[in-house]
Amino acid sequence: MWCAFGLAFAIKGPPGLLPLLPMLALRWLRVKSVPVLVTWPGLAAFAVIGLSWFAVVIWARPELLGYFLGYEVYDWLFTATQDRNAEWYGAFETYGEAFLVGTFPWLLWMTRPLAGRWRLASPRCWRDLRAYDPAHLFLLLWIVLPLVMFCVARSRLPLYVLPLFVPIALLLAMRLRNRAWLSGHWAPTVLTLIVIFLLGINWRAAAYPHKDARAVAQLIASSLPSDRVKEVVYLDSWPQYGLSLYLNTEVE
């Protein structure tokens, strides 16, 4: 587990540790099935895998420590410096659409058990889950606690919540378990049509125009030999870092 968290931290930084929140919450709630999370071998594995790259880079360029702690952590959480949907309604606008589209058409079956009831707002509901269904409790906490962090943070992008679709998929599987319609005569046809529909959406989304660095790379390569392109510098616009892959050059 700590090796996996080390990889997550090396790739994504502090947000990679958000799945720790539900684990710690279960320990705090004293759920008996939760093992000891913090061990010295685990922390050592995390430090070697997750922190070594940061240590090497900061040793070579000490000024990046302030950039990491300031811009990537503090500004991401508390300020609108990054200009990513920082308005008070930004979380609803950004993540609401992501969840609505991302869970379609399964949202109906996910929310159906809560129809007409405020079960999740009841302390008794959480006590019952803690006592009789800790797996269900873990999945709910895995969704709710990181989502709260994403909503509190002033920097918000739709893909931030992409990792939450892992517990959402598991929760959906639990909700659909033993459903009569899954064994009905029309179930295979319905599921096949849903899969085809979702694949069609993905195909269209992939063809949607976006910042494709390949087109810019081809334009540059048509004007200059690739071995003469030493650096690409962007002014007053967000750089397309993919150019470093297609042109084997540095992008600033």
3-state secondary structure of 232: strand
Give the count of alpha carbons within 13 A of 209, CB side only.
Answer: 1
Instruction: Measure the CA–CA gap between 190 and 181, rounded to whole angstroms.
Output: 10
Residue 147's region, left for phi above 0, alpha for psi from -120 to 50, else beta, is alpha
For residue 99, count other CB atoms closer than 10 A to its CB: 19
- The pLDDT profile of the chain, 252 residues, written as one tens digit per residue, is 999 999 999 999 999 999 999 999 988 888 877 788 899 999 999 999 999 999 999 999 999 999 999 998 999 999 998 889 999 899 999 999 888 888 877 777 666 655 444 566 677 777 777 888 888 889 989 999 999 999 999 999 998 999 999 999 998 888 777 666 566 677 788 788 888 988 888 888 777 767 778 888 888 888 887 677 889 999 988 888 889 988 888 999
For residue 225, which phi and psi values (nearest 5 degrees)? -60, 140
Residues linked to residue 53 through DSSP beta bridges, in sequence order: none
Instruction: Give pTM, 2 decimals.
Output: 0.76
Contacts of 171 (CB under 8 A, 6+ apart): 110, 136, 139, 140, 143
User: Cα–Cα distance between 216 and 198 in angstroms, integer?
Assistant: 30
Cis status of the peptide bond prior to 158, with omega within 30 of 0: no
Backbone φ, ψ for residue 251 (5° rounding): -120, 130
Number of Cβ atoms within 10 Å of the Cβ of 46: 21
3-state class (DSSP) for residue 231: strand
CA distance 240 to 217: 10
- Name the CA dihedral angle for 38, 44, 50, 55, rounded to a multiple of 10 degrees: 130
